[in-house]
Amino acid sequence: MKFVRIVEQFINRHHLIDRADTVIVGLSGGADSVALLTVLCNLNYNVVATHCNFHLRGEESMRDEAFCRKLCSDRNVRLLVRNFDVDSRRREAGESLEMACRALRYDWWRSLLKENVGSVIAVGHHREDNIETFFLNLFRGSSLTGLKGMLPRNELVVRPLLECKKSEILAYLRDHHLKYVTDSTNADNYYKRNRIRNRLMPLISDEFPGAIDSVAQTIGHLADNYGLYRDFCRKLHDRYVDADGVIDLSAILENESYPRMVLFEILSDYGFNMSQVENIISGFDGTNGETTFAGKTYHGRSSSYFLDRGKLVPLDDLNDGQNEVTVDLNCHPFETRRMTVAEFTVLKNARMLRPEAMYADSGIMLEAPEFIMRGWRTGDRMRPFGLKGSKLLSDLFSNAKLSLNEKKGVKVILRNSDIIWIPGVRCSALFPVTDKTEEVIEITYKPLRK
């Protein structure tokens, strides 16, 4: 039971799981997840196992699911199974196979947390997984954030086996006669992580005995460095980001010796990469807090900002109706595509027009109009499609039965000075598709959520 005690001590040292927690365990059926589930059960934690079937390996995928069902049935553990359409996710998000699977898996786990199925998510990452992550990030040109590897806890995800060697996990399974399944793709060196695992790490061990242990030790030091670094970054965040999330870019550039890194650390939590940060800073000319790209909008994965008088203002601040920003309908969070009237008619007749989109005569793009997005204001009016005359937006919201909270989040799109669209609520009667239309414009709004 030495292995179990080591894991228990690691859990307690890093405060990963409370006795009151229900632990959602990611169970693939592989050695790591089987060991994790078994150890947590032996430690008398309340566990719920989850298995993701991505249907990527034919009969092998069904074999893995059947194995997990039997394992959980034998141990009297509740098992939840979810089937995923990975190809649809990749088409929609433009992600790699690995990223699409990861996103689907974690989205499901987060939904289980929201539904109170469990209070913490446990995954079977071990020491070698962490070393592989270190090398992957090193080769990509990562900062300290990537080189520190995986942490024992990341928000509600915990890694109880993170300091365990793969050999220790296999020994534990062997000594307790525990079966597991093997993913055949682990031997496929098409994937970068597999090449690191199957080729690079054995080569390092042969050429530099003991080096892998030293790398693991270095990752531990970097994780400690990262903790100290993050504490300092939080102080910088409090200094330059106000209560409304507005970032004082001018002050950062004026006061900090490393403004690029300061801004990156503030924005990286919202999905901005270093290239985007450098693009933001390149628009600052250093005179009177002015910028060459005033009014430009910048988009990360989970938040968006526009540049206004030396400050980066979250797009959510448009909700008060006072701030407004010029937008490019060809850039995220918008998508624009052209279609023939015949294509539009087919979609309309099949009731396949997208509810998150606006359809308009292509004349909406003539004469280089300025498109503006802002929150709605008291007294705003629009000529709604399908109704006569202009209507108060407040009346349209009442007709749509929007809650007070929903009204606060409403944004409006203007073409020059005319409101042409309330995404998710109503389109205007301006630029309708008629029998005289030669081409149709589909404008889709996909806001980023925090």
The per-residue pLDDT for range 25-41, each reduced to its tens digit, is 999 999 999 999 999 99
Q: Which of 219, 253, 287 is the last residue of a domain?
A: 219
Question: Which residues are annotated binding-site positions for ATP?
Answer: 28-33
Q: Is residue 303 helix, strand or coil?
A: coil
Domain boundary among 279, 304, 320: 320
Residue 141 has a pLDDT of: 87
What CATH number does residue 439 fall under? 3.50.40.10
The answer to whether position 39 is within a domain reads yes
If asked whether residues 409 and 372 sit together in one domain, one would say: yes
Return the C-alpha torsion angle 160, 164, 170, 172, nearest 10: -70
Q: Are residues 272 and 195 in the same domain?
A: no
In one letter, which amino acid is 439? E
Q: Are residues 361 and 419 in the same domain?
A: yes
Residue 273 belongs to domain spanning: 241-320
Residue numbering of the annotated binding site: 28-33
The three-class DSSP label of residue 244 is coil
Contact 440, 344 (CB under 8 A): yes
Q: Please indicate, yes or no, whether residues 204 and 257 belong to a single structural domain of this protein.
A: no
Shared-domain flag, residues 202 and 300? no
339 belongs to a structural domain: no
Residues 314 and 410 in one domain: no
Q: Are the beta carbons of 127 and 165 closer than 8 angstroms? A: yes
d(CA 394, CA 391): 8
Q: Is residue 425 part of a domain?
A: yes
> Which secondary-structure segment (H or E) carries 426?
strand 426-427
Q: Is residue 296 part of a domain?
A: yes
**Residue found by looking up tokens 């650390």 in the block:** 265
Tell me, yes or no, whether 188 and 255 share the same domain: no
The total of structural domains in the chain comes to 3
46 domain-assigned: yes
pTM for the model: 0.64
Whether 330 is covered by a domain: the verdict is no
Q: Are residues 8 and 91 in the same domain?
A: yes
**Residues 380, 111: Cα–Cα separation, whole Å:** 37
* Beta carbons of 361 and 440 less than 8 angstroms apart: yes
Same domain, 302 and 161: no
pLDDT of residue 347: 87
Residues 43 and 133 in one domain: yes
Confidence (pLDDT) at 320: 52
Interatomic CA distance for residues 63 and 309, integer angstroms: 59
The H or E element that residue 221 is part of is helix 211-240
201: domain CATH number is 3.40.50.620
First to last CA, the chain: 44
Tell me, rounded to whole angstroms, the distance of Cα 199 from its chain centroid. Answer: 31
According to the model, what pLDDT value does residue 450 have? 38
Residues 20 and 160 in one domain: yes
Residue 231 lies in a domain: no
Examine the domain organization and report whether 258 and 390 are in the same domain. no
**What are the mean pLDDT values of the chain's consecutive 10-residue runs (450 residues total)?**
93 94 97 98 97 95 97 97 91 80 92 92 97 94 88 91 96 96 91 93 96 95 91 92 89 94 88 86 59 61 76 68 74 84 89 86 90 84 85 84 72 90 89 91 72
